[in-house]
Amino acid sequence: MSRHQFVYELESAANHIADASRADLQIMLRRAALMLRNVGGLSLDPYTDEVLRGLAAEMGKPKPALVEMIVSEWLVANAYLPVPRALDEDSAVEGNG
């Protein structure tokens, strides 16, 4: 069962709490606790997750570190974050002036 399906099931049970049996509620609460305990961050489609896992292995990085690096670089490249190593006035640069 996907996370989205489970969320829908929990919301439905909350909306019809009087109709749910104690055993069903107990099962759903245990499943919710297990999912929360095992939260690994983003929920990705299987193909994207497979590609990221392979790339992380190729680069010798944990997948969460790779995802953090990708997101950070995208945010910098699109001017949502400042460039981390900005040049100051005293920095030497090469090139034609």
pLDDT of 17 higher than 90: no
Question: Considering only CA atoms, which of 41, 39, 31, 40 is closest in space to residue 7?
Answer: 31
Distance CA 20, CA 56 (A): 43
Q: How confident is the model at residue 6 (pLDDT cuts 50, 70, 90)?
A: confident
The overall pTM is greater than 0.75: no
pLDDT digits (tens, 9 = 90+) for 26-70: 888 888 888 777 666 677 888 998 999 999 999 999 988 899 899
Which pLDDT does position 70 carry in this prediction? 93
How far is 66 from 42, CA to CA, in rounded Å?
A: 13
Task: Mention every residue, 6+ apart, whose C-beta is less than 8 A from residue 42.
Answer: 67
In 16-92, which residue ranges form alpha helices assigned H by DSSP?
Answer: 22-37, 46-59, 63-77
